[in-house]
Structure 1
Amino acid sequence: MSTEQQQAHRPGPFKLPNKAHKAGRHRTKGQVDRDCRGRKDVKTLSIRTRRDLNRTERRKALRSTLKNQRKKLVEQNRNLNRAPTLVTIISFNAELDAARVVEKLAACDPESQSVASERGNITYLHVPRFRGRYGFVCPLTTHLDNVLDCLKVSDVVLFVWPLEEDLTETQSLLMSTILAHGLPSSINVVGDIPSKGKQRDQLRHTVLQLIDSWSLNKDKIYDLDTDANALQLLRQIQGIRKRPTVLQRRRPHLMVEKMEPINVRHGLCTLKLTGFLRGPHMDANKLIHIQGLGDFQLEQIDRLKDSLPGAKGSNEEVVVLKPDENQIDLNTEVIPDPMDAEQPNVDDMLKAEVFTTEKETKLVPKGTSSYQAEWIVNDDEEENDDDDEEDDDDSMEDESDEDNEDEFAPTDLKGPGFYENEGMDIDQMTVAGTEGGEFDDMDIDKDDVKKYRKERENEQFPDEIDTPMDQPAAVRFQKYRGLKSFRTSPWDPKENLPLDYARIFKFGNIKHTKKLILKELENEPENGKFVTHGDYVSFYVKDVPAHIVNEWGMDMPMIVYGLLKHEQRMSVLNVVLRRHFTCNLAIKNKANLIYHVGYRRFEANGIFSQHTNGDKFKMERFMPNDNGPFVSTMFAPICFGPANVLVFYRDENGAQHLVASGSVLDMNPDRVILKRVVLSGHISKVNRRLAIVRYMFFNRDDIEWFKPVELYTPQGRRGHIKESLGTHGHIKCLFDQSCKFY
């Protein structure tokens, strides 16, 4: 056959297309690591090593690496099991309280051994058949601080639920506070449930619905009716997967079971605190924080022999650790030099951040700085009069006053939005404003009605303030500025800082500093002088008030935390909060509130501001009622996040009410918080683009002072003050479009 007679093959109508290549779904690095389960390929070795080793040697090196990792993991698990599993019992069942639960668990096995700590706050239980040790803590549910302190250091939480009734209002508030604070691993327990029958199923269904309403794990419910069920609960506590919180993983902590004062002199003493250390390693050079007392230095650390029943790998010899010349000091503030014009608010070991703005050429008076020139407005930008506007002026003056007043009197004209930088002052970790005005009295008002009316007025007319009649507006609002654009207008965060700002610390790069500090936790000290998780230790704390020993109740848990580097220093702390759904109080800005920030608890008068993007943030006069986030700023010690934050309000009777919850945002002293003031006036006459406004100002001097600031209307019209009319504060305004107020 010739080439001309050949024809190309054409597929028929039933020909199917080839299958497309499927590359597979994308997996993240974490998913790939979980799928590999620790297995590695020989190609993962470094390039330099592969050049020197052959295939067999690379495989041997890989097997050696896996063996070392396996050995390290086994040692870590052994250390985790050295200390007794700390269990906090919270009972919502009046017939089965926490103490009775401990009694049933201790009596379920005849071979078990139960020992109480010296202070009586911890009950240790050793069960030989499970090779496990337990430490049970039963805080009083009526004391919220005790419950939260125990939860911060517990490995497991036992919730004892009622059978046929819901939680009371007090119990529901406690449960919501616990969930906002954060939980480790939890187990659900019930009591006095029938062994079988239809009633048992109904009761279990009721309890499951109650647990599900709080979004807790409801896979298994344990009862304590028989010894076999109690043993099953102990087995579950021993084998449950522990989920330590970030606070437990990053900071060494200890629940004190023995307290003893030593060397009492001049009202101070060396306090000896004994207990099991949990978390990362701890050495004598670090600082510690006692919950509710403050930060202290250590005089000595003793690693003691574990004398409790069932001790594993206990140390026979007592090891004494003492601090050396590298011990961290307790300096919380910078001591400024009064003869130095500059404010040393930057840590010496970190670079300072320099504020820079774009330069713009302007005609300004001699001696004016570049920053001051930003607030000078050129007359050419504001005065844009033409012939049409002059015709409008003549026609406006011929119109009747009564007709225009009746038509436009109910309408408000929004005046300029002025902003003032919120200054802060250090006084027992409180914040005080620098400008005295209507909203600057931060004493808690006893009259709730007056406070609610102010909050409602602020919601209806945000930031609006009446112009004072007894003093010039230029004097009253002399600390405020009119921003042409809240987003783009520059504002120097170093301008007009109070003297106390020279006493705080600031990081040039907080993320890099945090990374270096966390990396130190992974590497053990080179000298080998440290104690680690599971060691039975005694801390000798220096210069503790001697009266603490007598005033600290037996039912109050004492928790000791090891501080990370720089966490004793003072800075500006910003926390992101949301109003709690149970809070219906009117919380004023700068109100005295109780803040639970991670392991710290203190009172502060925080400044509320919006949580938005940008470099400037508007101050909130009241805590927002919506569910949106907001930021509270205060002077406080540094706390590296993530860390949970709870905010409480103390009423006249001393009771605490949860008002907000959130987390730590950052430690940024350069956060600019601006107080906004809006001056409003009433329309008297309107003719096209011109309008006469009254009741915004009451004298001619104030009009000339605020003339460069832009005006706006509720309908979105923009304009400026053209001139003043008369001597009683009437002004003529010119807008960009024809004004219609309706």
Structure 2
Amino acid sequence: MLPTQHHHRHTTKVTNKPYKSRHATKNALRDISKGKVEIGDKTSRKTRHQQIMSKFDRKNQAKQKRQNERHALHEQTTIFSPKIGAPRIVAVVPLHPTASAAAAIARINESCKIHEEIPAVGSICIKIPAHRTSVRYMALPPKDLFATLDACRVADFVIFVLSAQEMLDDFGDLVLTAAKAQGISHFMMATQGSLVMDSQNRKPAATETVQMFMKQRFPEQDRLRCLDVSRDCATIMQWICSKSPKGVSWRDNRSWMFIEGLEWSEVGIAHNETDSSAEVKVTGTVRGRNLSSNRLVHLGDWGDYQIDRITAAPIEKVGREKDSMEIDSSQGKILDNPTNDQEDLAELAPEEITMEEAETQVYSIAPSERKGVLLDDHHYFDEDKEDGPEVPRRLPRGTSEYQSAWYLGDISDSGSDMEDVDDIAGGVSIDGSTHPAEGRDGPVDYDQPMTEAGPSEYPQSEVFLDPSPDEEEEQIAAYRAQRRKEAEDNLDFPDEIELHPNVLARERLARYRGLKSLRTSHWETEEDRFYEPEEWPRLLEIGNYKAAKNRFIKEALVNGVKPGTRVHVYLRNVPVTLQNSEASPPVSLFSLLRHERKHAAVNYNITLNSAYPTELKSKDELILQCGPRRCIINPLFSQAGDTPNDVHKFERFLHSGRSAIASFVGPLTWGPTPALFFKRMALPPSVNDGTDNGVTHSTASSFSPSDGIALVATGTSLAPSTSRVIAKRIILTGHPYKIHKKLVTVRYMFFNPDDVQWFKALQLWTKRGRVGHIKESLGTHGYFKATFDAKVNPMDAVAISLYKRVWPRRARLFTQ
């Protein structure tokens, strides 16, 4: 008999059936009870569109991603190659009056043993043989905000120069905040001036403060460089020549170029005695996307112009022999000519189209012919019958609605078999938001549903006597003084207005309407046709904003001159008056995307600067900088958010740290583009040569304007919309004069019975949340009865909310 050999199993792991939970351990059960979801089989397909990738496919996908990243990096750096020769643009910004941009550039060049004369203000292109590249420096003047922002907008690298002995002033803080908000590529901060150490070999307090400020505002900056140290200058030069520039999203979606030269043609086209234009040749290297002659270009603060042609302008190369130049055969070659698809300079749609639409438009009747205020989408008491709903008739009990049509008038028999038949069935439903001033969602429970013409609950023998005029005037003054004090204490009614007793409310508030709910009630737009601006039907309307934006951005990738090409761009019809203007010439040329010249009802998300000392009033004049443009606007502020009816409440003030939507009529800007809002401020007496001129300064020590310009807010461009309704709300308040259960006599809201009848259909509300309706008018001084859903507190105030549509104002071109 053969001896038996002991067989060892190949593994000690026991695999139990996963669907039998009795084999699970305590830890496994605990993990399941904690809500963890097991991954399961990785090879299973979650959806029918999901593909199962093999190991080979995953490796191939990773390889393709690496190739795409390398290709993108190659495109960013290929325009700086020695063959193409596009210079790297470096902006040197002095943040202190004692700092010098020219001295800083000279110190950086000395690290590569380059000694050239640097202009105090302007640009200069210098070749760096050690790094086989060229650098174009822009030396900026101190205390020039807009010139600094224009340079930072087109620069690949920005160097902020600070003083090593003095603190950062208000202008330096303003420039850093504005430059970061508009979008900036790589930047570095450096100090200028010798570092004088103290007795304990410590740096000055100003330098330590600047370093702390830099770490808080720009944590990505590792350290503060010093231009007096040669090692730091060499580091800066290495950083400029070797680093790949980081793109700015809104700038990379468009074609742009730094203006190296600007020439005017000798012959101008005279349109009249005072207005003439000429052709301007702009020289530079194309950056960003392809430059197409069919698109309009924006030339700094000079405006938008059409391109006549684009020609090649290659750099002349020096030959091997001395005093010999190699002339490129492509010099002056036409690279792109406009076609029939070239955009025009029209800002609005043609009037012929709007006239055809106006002929087919059916307008409602004029407001003067109405008999009552508009509530949602209906004018009450407007039919050809008596004002108010039909009075219930006395009919035999059990009479149906069909049978009641055969009875003319009331049945004179008085008996118990008679009943009041009302055509309106059910209770009153009020739709609105939770805030009483904006209506209430859901039905209101009335124990005794009342209509505007319902019978009175007061005894029939009660006689209402109007007070004398003098007595009533004293009572109104005392009541309003008390209400004004309460409003100042807790700001309960920010939209409240007071009507003069001699003013008719139906005439003063003819444009206002009522809404059951500000968020959900339908806004009847036909009533606004009489008051809309003339250019409103001619504004640009976009159906699908996101799809249109993507289509026009992709359109810039094809056709036109490729990036990295040095070209001459010839512009048509540039006003000759700009040639002799005192303002500095533009430093950049931006190609606009399709339709960016057209005007639309544009919207911007705006956030007020927390350092701004006061609130910002709506319709105040502001300077907007969005993308390549800069214009003057008077925006309307409204509440943000999406509502079912696209109606948004108008905000009179924008408070510190809060956000709103700023709306105006201006040129369209595609994409989420950062926006800066500036305001002209009154200078302090020390800056204004000691003359006050009776101007009240609103600046505080923590917020000081620089040269009269202050950055008050920042924001982002949003989708334009002409259907977005900005509703201005006003509140009329009254005093509960007499209270009998749910029936209240209200005074001081209106001052004649005709106004009570006009606003009879509106919903009443109180500060403490009660809701009701006007029942009937009393006397000749505007008193009226109202019924509410609950008893009203004697210290409460009765109010109604009225709304009217306000229209955005048109923007204007900014000129320095």
Scaled by the length of structure 1, the TM-score of the pair is 0.75
Matched letter for residue 623 of structure 2: I
Residue matched to 1:121 = 122
Q: Which moved more, 1:370-379 or 1:159-168?
A: 370-379
Aligned equivalents of 2:251 and 2:717: distance in 1?
Answer: 17
Report the alpha carbon displacement of residue 343 of structure 1 after superposing the two structures with TM: 4.8
* 1:734 equivalent among 772, 787, 793: 787
Is residue 2:77 matched to residue 1:77?
Answer: yes
Aligned equivalents of 2:226 and 2:288: distance in 1?
Answer: 31
Aligned equivalents of 1:492 and 1:175: distance in 2?
Answer: 47
Contact 1:414–1:680 (Cα < 8 Å) also in 2: no
Aligned equivalents of 2:547 and 2:775: distance in 1?
Answer: 53
Residue matched to 1:329 = 344
Report the alpha carbon displacement of residue 374 of structure 1 after superposing the two structures with TM: 8.8
Aligned equivalents of 1:658 and 1:103: distance in 2?
Answer: 32
Contact 1:154–1:184 (Cα < 8 Å) also in 2: yes
Aligned equivalents of 2:651 and 2:489: distance in 1?
Answer: 11
Cα deviation code 1:282-320 (max 9, x no counterpart): 12222111111211111111221124899xx99662231
Q: Which moved more, 1:672-681 or 1:602-611?
A: 602-611
Cα deviation code 1:648-698 (max 9, x no counterpart): 223577933322210101111111111111101122222321222211111
Matched letter for residue 141 of structure 2: L
Sort the Cα spacing of 1:169 and 1:274 in 2 relative to 1 into closer, same or farther, 3 A. Answer: same
Contact 1:208–1:218 (Cα < 8 Å) also in 2: no
Residue matched to 1:500 = 535
* 2:715 equivalent among 647, 662, 666: 662
Contact 1:159–1:188 (Cα < 8 Å) also in 2: yes
Which structure 2 residues correspond to residues 202-601 of structure 1 after superposition, within 5 A? 205-262=208-265, 263-266=267-270, 267-307=276-316, 317-318=330-331, 319-321=333-335, 322-337=337-352, 340=355, 342-343=357-358, 372=378, 380=424, 384-385=449-450, 393-394=458-459, 461-493=493-525, 496-497=528-529, 498=532, 499-522=534-557, 524-525=558-559, 530-551=560-581, 553=583, 556-585=585-614, 587-601=616-630
Aligned equivalents of 2:741 and 2:318: distance in 1?
Answer: 92
Report the alpha carbon displacement of residue 40 of structure 1 after superposing the two structures with TM: 11
Aligned equivalents of 1:102 and 1:163: distance in 2?
Answer: 17
Sort the Cα spacing of 1:309 and 1:682 in 2 relative to 1 into closer, same or farther, 3 A. Answer: farther
Cα deviation code 1:543-592 (max 9, x no counterpart): 001121222555x5432110111111111111110112233355432233
Aligned equivalents of 2:791 and 2:638: distance in 1?
Answer: 36
Report the alpha carbon displacement of residue 701 of structure 1 after superposing the two structures with TM: 0.8
- Equivalent residues, number: 635
Matched letter for residue 230 of structure 1: C
Q: CA RMSD in A?
A: 4.6
Contact 1:642–1:663 (Cα < 8 Å) also in 2: yes
Residue matched to 2:367 = none
Matched letter for residue 573 of structure 1: V
Is residue 2:738 matched to residue 1:685?
Answer: yes
Report the alpha carbon displacement of residue 391 of structure 1 after superposing the two structures with TM: 8.9
Matched letter for residue 283 of structure 2: T
Aligned equivalents of 1:396 and 1:188: distance in 2?
Answer: 87
Residue matched to 1:712 = 765
Residue matched to 1:604 = 633
Sort the Cα spacing of 1:372 and 1:688 in 2 relative to 1 into closer, same or farther, 3 A. Answer: closer
* 1:635 equivalent among 665, 671, 682: 665
Aligned equivalents of 1:339 and 1:202: distance in 2?
Answer: 66
Aligned equivalents of 1:304 and 1:191: distance in 2?
Answer: 38
Residue matched to 2:420 = none
Structure 2, unaligned runs of 5 or more? 1-20, 41-52, 271-275, 320-325, 362-369, 383-387, 391-423, 429-447, 684-706, 796-816
Cα deviation code 1:140-172 (max 9, x no counterpart): 342221111111111111112333443223332
Aligned equivalents of 2:489 and 2:627: distance in 1?
Answer: 35
Higher Cα radius of gyration: 2
Residue matched to 2:407 = none
Aligned equivalents of 1:296 and 1:344: distance in 2?
Answer: 34
Report the alpha carbon displacement of residue 714 of structure 1 after superposing the two structures with TM: 0.7
Aligned equivalents of 1:165 and 1:486: distance in 2?
Answer: 55
Aligned equivalents of 1:411 and 1:370: distance in 2?
Answer: 32
Report the alpha carbon displacement of residue 71 of structure 1 after superposing the two structures with TM: 6.0
Aligned equivalents of 1:701 and 1:233: distance in 2?
Answer: 79
Residue matched to 1:423 = none
Aligned equivalents of 1:320 and 1:227: distance in 2?
Answer: 46
Matched letter for residue 518 of structure 2: F
Contact 1:684–1:691 (Cα < 8 Å) also in 2: yes
Sort the Cα spacing of 1:669 and 1:68 in 2 relative to 1 into closer, same or farther, 3 A. Answer: closer
Structure 2 counterpart SS, 1:234: helix
Q: Which moved more, 1:509-518 or 1:622-631?
A: 622-631
Sort the Cα spacing of 1:393 and 1:40 in 2 relative to 1 into closer, same or farther, 3 A. Answer: same
Structure 2 counterpart SS, 1:739: coil
Report the alpha carbon displacement of residue 229 of structure 1 after superposing the two structures with TM: 2.6
Is residue 2:725 matched to residue 1:672?
Answer: yes
Residue matched to 2:152 = 151
Aligned equivalents of 1:408 and 1:470: distance in 2?
Answer: 13
Cα deviation code 1:321-379 (max 9, x no counterpart): 32233322222211223894525999xxxxxxxxxxxxxxxxx99xx999546998967
Sort the Cα spacing of 1:481 and 1:244 in 2 relative to 1 into closer, same or farther, 3 A. Answer: same
Residue matched to 1:650 = 680
Residue matched to 2:435 = none
Cα deviation code 1:193-240 (max 9, x no counterpart): 559983249776443202123235331322222433312210012233
Residue matched to 1:361 = none
**Structure with more relative contact order (C-alpha pairs < 8 Å, separation 6 or more):** 1
Sort the Cα spacing of 1:69 and 1:89 in 2 relative to 1 into closer, same or farther, 3 A. Answer: closer
Contact 1:114–1:124 (Cα < 8 Å) also in 2: no
Aligned equivalents of 1:164 and 1:375: distance in 2?
Answer: 78
Structure 2 counterpart SS, 1:577: strand
Residue matched to 2:102 = 99
Report the alpha carbon displacement of residue 493 of structure 1 after superposing the two structures with TM: 4.4
Contact 2:375–2:515 (Cα < 8 Å) also in 1: no
Sort the Cα spacing of 1:64 and 1:369 in 2 relative to 1 into closer, same or farther, 3 A. Answer: closer
Residue matched to 1:43 = 57
Structure 2 counterpart SS, 1:595: strand
Contact 1:158–1:187 (Cα < 8 Å) also in 2: yes
Report the alpha carbon displacement of residue 401 of structure 1 after superposing the two structures with TM: 13
